[in-house]
Amino acid sequence: MDLTRSRRLYAEARRFLVEGVNSPVRSFKAVGGEPLVMKRGRRAKLFDADGHAFTDYCLSWGALILGHAHPRIMAEIKAQLKEGTSFGTTTAAETELARFIVKNVPSVSKVRFVNSGTEAAMSAIRLARGYTRRNKIVKFDGCYHGHFDDLLVKAGSGVSSLKASSSLGITKNHIRETITLPYNDTPALVETLEKNRRDVSCVIIEPVAGNMGVVVPDMEFLKVLRKITKKYRIVLIFDEVMTGFRASAGCVQSEFGVEPDLTCFGKIIGGGFPIGAYGGEGGIMRYLAPSGGVYQAGTFAGNPVVMRAGWATLDTLKGGMYRKLNALCARFAEDMNAFFVKNDIPVHLDTFHSMMSVRFSRAGVTNYREVLASSDRAQYGRLFQFLLNSGIYWPPAELETFFVSAVHTVKELDAMAKALKTHVQTKGGGE
């Protein structure tokens, strides 16, 4: 591959940006080699500065469920650009996106828009603390909720590559009130919440984890979590920044029939623009300023360009599109896992509909300890580079999730299946 332009642009980027990136995982440190500089995207394809095409399974970290430059979203944005870009006032566009969310997500009757998933989780926690007037928070090992200080303990995603599984620069005071527990461990959850019931404001969880690769929860664990948090008036926060509107319009909570008190959204609801949101029942949302005493604000919150891109995305996705995408992904994953078993290759895909991740073990995993036990960074690096050379762009880190969009074709998925099979057979699979 001739990467002359990409190399030159990346060298230039390194002069002015830390390691040439604005978010750590983009640096390819987890997979080796230099990041490609991307220039353009169209449907499922991403094109680098030298003009190479890649079928994109990173999809802006799960934000682009309709692929790149979807015509309906483009038209919506163009229409808004003619009217102006940012007003800092109420607009009809934000009401429409909020209406869509409220109509489809049963636990949400009021929404607040922010600019990132980090902000959504951070603000939901502040609201939970203000509402309960308690301080402690409970999270789960390997879950990532953005880079908010109080949550950067044993977090997944890029944080998992740091030595202490946490960040420098975070004071003890910030994490003193944070309890982190193993995912799917019901006894540990019950014991901790019973012991700390007067102090715990909220439990925050990815209802399907995607930041330690995909980990699907045990239903009994989720049901106990809902029951015990209700019993002790602890706010249950579902972080659906990654899962929200990915597999159905009702989100994971509808599919599982477990309703949280607050939900965080991001990624997909912004139609490819920066966004976050959180919402819940009126009773708790009323604690937010200006009606209540929990302060949270934003210059660009509810930006009309973002709102219209988000609304066009969700409106396009209705019904049949989810069914088709989920079925395509189920077929792909079943085929791959059957292949690994049949050929006795210690590789497994953990999946939740169009969210998938690869494990270097014979079976799926249920918590962060098992995730780390099955992890093989060097092997993932080789797989990543092989796929890249085959024109397939995966997330450049093992513990990230890869995504399929609603515009990926059967042909593109077949090409990925073929590349994966070739690699694990010729390069030794989970050696």
CA pair distance 416, 336, nearest whole angstrom: 10
User: Is 145 a binder of ligand PMP (CB under 6 A)?
Assistant: yes
Helix (H) or strand (E) holding 385: helix 377-389
CB 43 within 8 A of CB 409: no
CB 35 within 8 A of CB 10: yes
User: Is 118 a binder of ligand PMP (CB under 6 A)?
Assistant: yes
Q: Which residue of 20, 35, 67, 117 would you call a contact of ligand PMP, by CB under 6 A?
A: 117
Helix (H) or strand (E) holding 244: none
User: Is 146 a binder of ligand PMP (CB under 6 A)?
Assistant: yes
User: Is 61 a binder of ligand PMP (CB under 6 A)?
Assistant: yes
User: Is 141 a binder of ligand PMP (CB under 6 A)?
Assistant: no
Q: Whole-number minimum distance, CB 280 to ligand PMP, in Å?
A: 16
Of 350, 367, 333, nearest to 218 (Cα)?
367
- Residues in 66-85 that interact with ligand PMP by CB under 6 A: none
Q: List beta partners, residue 266.
A: 276
User: Is 239 a binder of ligand PMP (CB under 6 A)?
Assistant: yes
Q: Which stretch binds ligand PMP (CB under 6 A): 173-181, 203-211, 331-339, 406-414?
A: 203-211
CA distances from 331 to 214, 414, 425 (A): 17, 11, 21
User: Is 263 a binder of ligand PMP (CB under 6 A)?
Assistant: no
Q: Whole-number minimum distance, CB 83 to ligand PMP, in Å?
A: 26
CA pair distance 121, 414, nearest whole angstrom: 37
Write the single-letter amino acid at 93: A
- Catalytic (active site) residue 414: no
Structure tokens at 197: 């019931």
- Catalytic (active site) residue 344: no
Q: Which is nearer to ligand PMP, 262 or 413 (CB)?
A: 262
User: Is 241 a binder of ligand PMP (CB under 6 A)?
Assistant: yes
Q: Whole-number minimum distance, CB 401 to ligand PMP, in Å?
A: 8
CB 241 within 8 A of CB 120: yes
- Among all residues, which ones are annotated catalytic? 144, 239, 267
List residues near ligand PMP by CB under 6 A: 61, 116-118, 121, 144-146, 157, 206, 210-211, 239, 241-242, 266, 276
